[in-house]
Chains A and B, each alone.
Chain A
Amino acid sequence: MVKTQISKIQLFMLLLGFLFGSTVIMTPTVGAKNDGWLAILVGGAAGILLMGVYSAIALLNPSKTLVDILMERLGKVAGNILAVLYIWYFIHLASLVFRDFGEFICTVTFPETPMIVVIGLFAVVLLYAVNSGIEVLGRLSELLVPIIPIVIFIIGLSLISVHDFTAFLPILENGITPVLKAALSFLTFPFGETVAFLMVFPHLNKKEKLKKVVFLSAGIIILAGTVIFFRDISVLGSDLMARATFIPHLTSLLIPGLNVEPLVDINLLIGGGIKISVCIYAASKALCQIVGIDDYRTMTGAITTFCVVLSIWVHESTLDLFSWSEKVWPYYSIPFQIVIPLLLLLLSLRRSKSSNKKEKSLKG
């Protein structure tokens, strides 16, 4: 069977788009106020480790998807249950991003448009993308993702005259606890969410580059996150930043004499789009693997529809969404993002060691 493959650049761009995701409109480290940059660095360091764990799992189980790995390492019953839970997690993640997108558009650009219209149309476009296959998604991200940093760069540069570079002082005003909390939420959003890529990694054509690609993309996100944080805080100040709903958007509104609001929309469209597409792809692929269907495209339509409905239904308002993603999401994600992957890594390591020994004993 000819396997669909993506190149390392395509995987890099996909990861980058995924990690940018909704971070282009929301700042997960908002709880740490002035010390957000510390939270970004700490959370980012942990995030790199976590993504290292994912890639290690992928490398120890070459050309196997998350579902295969779960089944193999944990047995059929436990593997199936966990796989179903993961599918739920991916769907939930996708619907959250859908909701982020809908909230942003309906709050900022189209206050009178029903959210279901915005999300529904977005879903139709994404369904087309997902149905085109992972190869096309890779090519798409190659074309579109480079726009995100360019836009961030443009906004940052146009704000150069209104910067207050001392706004992030004093350091650790409220002690280390809020920083660690914010770091946890930065770890789980967006780094831990890349667990969905365990369904995509098997498509990489050069396995030996996987670690490099993963680390590079995580590093770039940490850098970008820090830059965005310093940009926002030196423009808005810590009080305004703590109160704003969509921080990067508010920042972009402050550019003197120019309104670049649509550029933020575009960033969200690209980043969120890639995140949702990968989630839907992962969910439908996993579901198809569990029930034994060859073509994941049979499931995408149903799953996308479900995501759209869920995104409308799951939260009552913007504030509900925000407090939920700040207070519940990190802890809700821990088993999916940290506990199970670590378990899988340990099991895979043990298996590979024992198989190594076997090989050695055979040779000896």
Chain B
Amino acid sequence: MYKRSRKGSKTENRNTSNDNTYTDTYGPIPKSVEDVNARLSEIFSDCTDFIQREISCGKNGLIRILVAYFDGFIDKRVLNQDVVHPILDFFSNTELNESRSIYCRLKECVVVNNDIKEAYDMQQAVDGIISGEALLFIDGDDKALVIGVKSPQGRQVEEPDTETSIRGAREGFVENLLTNTTLIRKRIKNPNLKMEMMHIGKQTQTEVCICYIKGIANEEIVREVRERLKKIKIDAVLESGVIEQFISDSRLSLFPTVGSTEKCDKLAAKLLEGRIAIFCDGTPYVLTVPYLFIESIQATDDYYDHAYFATFMRLLRIIALLVSNILPGMYVALVSFHQTVIPFNLMITLASSRHGIPFSPFSEAVLMIVAFEFLREAGVRMPRPIGQALSIVGAIVLGEASVAAGIASNLMVIIVAITAVCSFIVPPLIRATMLLRFVFLAAANFLGFLGIALSAVVVIIHLCRLRSFGVPYMAPFSPLTVSDLKDSILVVPIWAMVTRPRVLRQENARSTRGTKRQEVKAKH
């Protein structure tokens, strides 16, 4: 708790030092077009993409209107068709009626566009302009209209690269927040699908949207999400990963307690289970909370295909997760401590393959795994067209040359290869596995199987301690929730999954930290 408060104050300090950038209130809107024009020019000085235009219309050009927007941010054609053209038409054809102000007329019957808001002070007007809306000011009023004519530019909806599936929707999220929420609305046609917008980021004012299905999602958790998002004090939110780090229950844990996905059907399924989604403008990765351990071995395909295959796949993934974590450690423990456990025939093969290797099993394993991690990282960072060269080099160096040169044994190459393949089977845990593998290796080199077992117990204790928005991370295994086991390692057919996950409906949705604080309060 101490840490959190200290951190909070630190960020606050950082922000207050930069505070005068724009967040100062700009006061009320001046009544005349000239003043507004001057004021806006002052605020947006040196912004060459900022455009203001004065329109004079009506008889004798007495009615003066100011339109202001950012070039490229809005759809000019829509602006002209829906706003400027009707205004010019209207005032050239109609007599002015004094009983109703021009402002009301414009708002109610002239502007064709449906998305109209009112700005009562300069702050709201500026907010509208910078978030891609057009400002419409009529001379003599102290209010302005903010008209949503944002241009729908950005990437097309396409299949996400990071999450592929054999069966299921190919649509993935894009950078545009509205497109993303629409994709979900299209899938869940229900007025109970709620979207709550908020702005996070002192400089970027990024739009963040909490999405949940009322009646299915746990209200407590929704409230907790809202509170945690409100507490975020930061300059910029460029990716949902920033939010993830702020709202995670355990900020120092290796394991993810906030999920992220790029696939629409996956997110829809999560929402329908009672989870809460957090959209963030500017990134295709949508966060889901609470995120449990079991979700990392679930895939959308599991539910679209026959349950037998899904169960088999789940088993495979669990085994792969174990293998990718402890296989190198196991090998080292076997070779350096527990030779008696190895069957005799394998022992001979092993001894002959290790013959002439200058390194200890541990350094051999570390060497090969690090070499593999180099290749993997290079594969992610380098430009795509060079990929082939890398894979050839990798295959030759890791597979052939290292053995031929007498640096690594054949068995070690196989073990690193299997470990590497297995680590890609459970994508959400790749990063955790990558580090844990070395921990297990070191423990195995130190104490053999006992070391592996002890460090595994530490990891399991940690997993049992973790919570995601109040829900125990290892649910439904521990605490055991029998009704939720239908979608764990065993997958029952979709027609038999009649209940929603019960763990998400827990009454106490607050984090462990939160309850502790309450306890302390209650005591005093």
A interface residues (Cβ-Cβ under 8 A, vs B): 1-2, 7, 9-10, 105, 109-110, 113, 118, 121-122, 125, 128-129, 132, 136, 138-140, 142-144, 257-259, 261-262, 265-266, 269, 273, 294
B479 and A142 contacting across the interface, CB-CB below 8 Å: yes
**A358 CB to closest chain B CB, in angstroms?**
32
Residues on B with beta carbons closer than 8 Å to the beta carbon of A10:
478-480
Docked pose: A140 CA to B454 CA in angstroms: 14
B464 and A132 contacting across the interface, CB-CB below 8 Å: yes
Residues on A with beta carbons closer than 8 Å to the beta carbon of B343:
257-258
Nearest-neighbor residue (CB-CB) of B482 within chain A: A9
Contacts A132-B461, A139-B474, A257-B343 given: A110-B479 contact, CB under 8 Å?
Answer: no
Contact with A along B340-353 (1 / 0, CB 8 A): 11010000000000
A269 and B457 contacting across the interface, CB-CB below 8 Å: yes
Interface residue B523 (Cβ < 8 Å from any Cβ of A) = yes
A2 and B515 contacting across the interface, CB-CB below 8 Å: yes
Docked pose: A143 CA to B474 CA in angstroms: 9
Chain B count of residues within 8 A CB distance of the other chain: 29
Tell me which of B337, B340, B480, B518 contacts A142 (CB under 8 A). Answer: B480
Interface residue B450 (Cβ < 8 Å from any Cβ of A) = yes
Residues on B with beta carbons closer than 8 Å to the beta carbon of A118:
447, 450
Interface residue B372 (Cβ < 8 Å from any Cβ of A) = no
* Majority-rule SS of B interface residues: helix
Residues on B with beta carbons closer than 8 Å to the beta carbon of A259:
340-341
A139 and B479 contacting across the interface, CB-CB below 8 Å: yes
Tell me which of A1, A257, A261, A266 contacts B453 (CB under 8 A). Answer: A266
Contacts A2-B519, A110-B447, A143-B474 given: A122-B454 contact, CB under 8 Å?
Answer: yes
Q: What are 29 A-to-B residue pairs whose CB atoms are below 8 Å?
A: A1-B519, A2-B508, A2-B518, A9-B480, A10-B478, A10-B479, A109-B338, A109-B448, A109-B450, A113-B447, A118-B447, A122-B454, A125-B461, A129-B461, A132-B465, A136-B461, A136-B465, A138-B479, A139-B472, A140-B478, A142-B479, A261-B341, A262-B338, A262-B453, A265-B450, A266-B453, A269-B454, A269-B457, A273-B457
Nearest-neighbor residue (CB-CB) of B475 within chain A: A139
Interface residue B449 (Cβ < 8 Å from any Cβ of A) = yes
Contact with A along B455-479 (1 / 0, CB 8 A): 0011011001100000010100111
**B149 CB to closest chain A CB, in angstroms?**
52
Residues on B with beta carbons closer than 8 Å to the beta carbon of A129:
457, 461
Nearest-neighbor residue (CB-CB) of B455 within chain A: A125
**A6 CB to closest chain B CB, in angstroms?**
8
B450 and A110 contacting across the interface, CB-CB below 8 Å: yes
**B189 CB to closest chain A CB, in angstroms?**
39
Tell me which of B340, B457, B465, B519 contacts A261 (CB under 8 A). Answer: B340
Docked pose: A142 CA to B481 CA in angstroms: 11
**B9 CB to closest chain A CB, in angstroms?**
26
A265 and B515 contacting across the interface, CB-CB below 8 Å: no
Contacts A132-B464, A139-B464 given: A125-B458 contact, CB under 8 Å?
Answer: yes
Nearest-neighbor residue (CB-CB) of B333 within chain A: A262
Interface centre among A10, A144, A262 (most CB of B within 10 A): A262
Contact with A along B23-62 (1 / 0, CB 8 A): 0000000000000000000000000000000000000000
Tell me which of A1, A136, A265 contacts B449 (CB under 8 A). Answer: A265
Contact with A along B315-345 (1 / 0, CB 8 A): 0000000000000000000000110110100
Interface residue B389 (Cβ < 8 Å from any Cβ of A) = no
Residues on A with beta carbons closer than 8 Å to the beta carbon of B515:
2
Residues on A with beta carbons closer than 8 Å to the beta carbon of B519:
1-2
B464 and A143 contacting across the interface, CB-CB below 8 Å: yes
Interface residue B386 (Cβ < 8 Å from any Cβ of A) = no
Contact with A along B260-276 (1 / 0, CB 8 A): 00000000000000000
Given contacts A10-B479, A261-B341, 7 further A-B contacts (CB under 8 A): A110-B337, A128-B458, A136-B464, A143-B460, A143-B478, A144-B457, A273-B457
Nearest-neighbor residue (CB-CB) of A140 within chain B: B464
10 closest Cβ pairs, A-B complex: A142-B478, A139-B478, A139-B464, A259-B341, A262-B449, A143-B478, A136-B464, A132-B465, A140-B464, A129-B461
**A100 CB to closest chain B CB, in angstroms?**
15
Tell me which of A9, A125, A138 contacts B454 (CB under 8 A). Answer: A125
Residues on B with beta carbons closer than 8 Å to the beta carbon of A294:
523
B449 and A142 contacting across the interface, CB-CB below 8 Å: no
Residues on A with beta carbons closer than 8 Å to the beta carbon of B382:
none
Docked pose: A128 CA to B462 CA in angstroms: 9
Nearest-neighbor residue (CB-CB) of A129 within chain B: B461
Docked pose: A257 CA to B338 CA in angstroms: 15
A143 and B477 contacting across the interface, CB-CB below 8 Å: yes
Contact with A along B484-524 (1 / 0, CB 8 A): 00000000000000000000000010000001001100110
Contact with A along B59-88 (1 / 0, CB 8 A): 000000000000000000000000000000
Docked pose: A1 CA to B450 CA in angstroms: 40
Interface centre among B478, B518, B519 (most CB of A within 10 A): B478
Residues on B with beta carbons closer than 8 Å to the beta carbon of A2:
508, 515, 518-519, 522
**B236 CB to closest chain A CB, in angstroms?**
36
Contacts A9-B480, A125-B454 given: A140-B460 contact, CB under 8 Å?
Answer: yes
